[in-house]
Chains A and B, each alone.
Chain A
Amino acid sequence: MGDLQQELKDLLAFVFFLGLVPAGLRHVWLLCCVSPFLLGTAVCSQKPQLGDAQLATNNPTLTTVSLEKPFCMFDSSLYPNRSYTIYLYVMKESASAMSSLVTDDSNKPLGSTFQQTSRGQLRPYNAAFFDVPDCAVPPRLADVRSFVHASYVLKQYLFRVGDDGTCLYDPNFLGVCNPPLAPDTTYRFKYVLVDNSEGMVKDQTLWSDPIKTRRAKLPMKIDTCVLVFLLLTGFLASVQSFSDTK
């Protein structure tokens, strides 16, 4: 189907469930393709999103980006009694559109790692894989207030890209690596649904909007000059020398 048709369906879907879903759940369920207009499509029109800014205020940081896990994004593609895994791919925005494929010819997910793709410069790399989040029971974000449940809720709700730097320093490490991202760089992310038994890609989200990591300024650039102090330095020096002679 054409882009324009897709856009129209997105808009209608958005308007449709915006009215139905109560405000409290909206920020989790906004990812869901609940609209009947979109049932049966191969590509869900939602994309990976940054974690709720009210909850995770330090996001993105210099070298990490915390994304919401794909709740209910792939529900239309899941069959009962089959196990699935979600793969997360990371790519620098500067990589060309030609190389943004995450599957090979036989529709199997590419296993490219951080090192192989030159830190996401050449092609997307696989940063992590995890189980499909349970759509029926999304994490209650209000539970984060409780110190006991906070870790569980955060782990269920968010995935932190760039969390683990140790795999870079281990020369024997050959697996999937999620090392820190580069500061002041724009990245894009994608979730891919893979069937465990066949090893084939069943569904994938669109590439996320470009997300830029923070930039750090040099402390030398901080201006500590104070006009009043400069004006009175001369006067003070003379007074001090008078005191010192005593």
Chain B
Amino acid sequence: MAKTENGVRIFQGLLILGNVVIGMCGIALTAECIYFVSDPHGLYPLLEATENDDIYAAAWIGIFVGFALLALSILGIVGVIKSNRTLLLVYIILMLITFAFEMASCITAATHRDFLTPNLFLKQMLEKYQKPEAGNNNDKWMSEGVTKTWDKLMLQNQCCGVNGPSDWQEYTSAFRTTYSDADFPWPHNCCVLDSQGHPINLDGCKLGVHGFFKSNGCYAAISGPMNRQAWGVAWFGFAILCWTVSSSSCSPAS
């Protein structure tokens, strides 16, 4: 008799431990997703302009799933301690629903990583950067967002274009309609600038002399943070789900 009681107690202890881990993971997931939603690299306007910002939707879902996991873990601990069948049943049903949400979020994040190709950002940059007065307000808003983001990107990461400054020479662009090739083979921020924001040598920049223009592409600076975000949301979420499945499958036995 004592042995089985001890066994049950150990089992209950393990379940409580499992729920504590789920609770902490929930907090971690919420924190991670809040970090991504806060957009520390300022790349959200680029995603907004692709008209497909599902990675952000995935992060938002992650925030709420994190809270839900925390609440459910507390419910689970209470249910195990009280050994109340009803509570545990509610716990399982709600856990399944949370599971579904988190699954959706993870799959969205994982698949959208493949959507963010260099060509996508190249096309967007060429069509929207420095676009003169566009048609409707939505267009204008997106163009302004893209222009500001690219200016900041080129300044902070010492880069130009998606693959390199040659993007501006190989393709026509909205930028080219306003600025002639003789004066601006590429945008002003592609030149190496001094502290006042003037090119250190305009002729050198126009001719493509090394040291006076930025010869790297910005794709690494864009895809790096976005991929980390997608992977962070997707794989951390999957890990939590695995843990949840394994611990939930044990709880009916108690």
A positions within 8 Å CB-CB of B: 51, 55-59, 61-64, 66, 144-145, 147, 150-151, 154-155, 158, 160, 162-165, 180, 183, 214, 216-220, 222-224, 226, 228-229, 232, 235-236, 239-240, 242-243, 246
Contact = CB atoms under 8 A, between A and B. Distances in A.
Contacts of B127: 219
B139 to A, nearest CB: 16
A196 to B, nearest CB: 28
B221 interface: no
Contacts of A223: 119
Interface stretch (B84-92, B205-213, B232-240): B205-213
B107 interface: yes
Interface stretch (B3-11, B180-188, B243-251): B180-188
B207 A51 contact: yes
Given A150-B212, A222-B122, A243 B61 contact: yes
A61 B101 contact: no
A246 B97 CA distance: 10
Contacts of A240: 104, 108
Nearest to A183: B181
A62 B107 contact: no
Q: A51, A58, A151 — which one has the most chain B CB atoms within 10 A of its CB?
A: A58
B117 interface: yes
Contact of B114 (A219, A229, A242): A229
Interface of B: 54, 61, 97, 100-101, 103-104, 107-108, 111-112, 114-115, 117, 119-120, 122-123, 126-127, 165, 169-173, 176, 180-183, 185, 200-201, 203-204, 206-213, 215
B212 A217 contact: no
23 contacts: A55-B209, A57-B207, A57-B209, A58-B169, A58-B185, A58-B206, A144-B211, A150-B201, A158-B207, A180-B181, A183-B181, A216-B169, A216-B171, A216-B172, A217-B170, A219-B127, A223-B119, A224-B120, A224-B123, A235-B107, A239-B107, A239-B108, A240-B108
A63 B182 contact: yes
Contacts of B120: 224
Nearest to B100: A242
Contacts of A62: 169, 181, 185
B179 to A, nearest CB: 11
A228 B114 contact: yes
Contacts of B176: 216
Given A219-B126, A224-B119, A229-B111, A150 B182 contact: no
Given A154-B204, A236-B108, A222 B123 contact: yes
- In order of increasing CB-CB distance, the 3 nearest A-B pairs are A58-B208, A57-B208, A219-B126
B65 to A, nearest CB: 11
B119 A151 contact: no
A232 B52 CA distance: 14
Contact of B180 (A180, A224, A226): A180
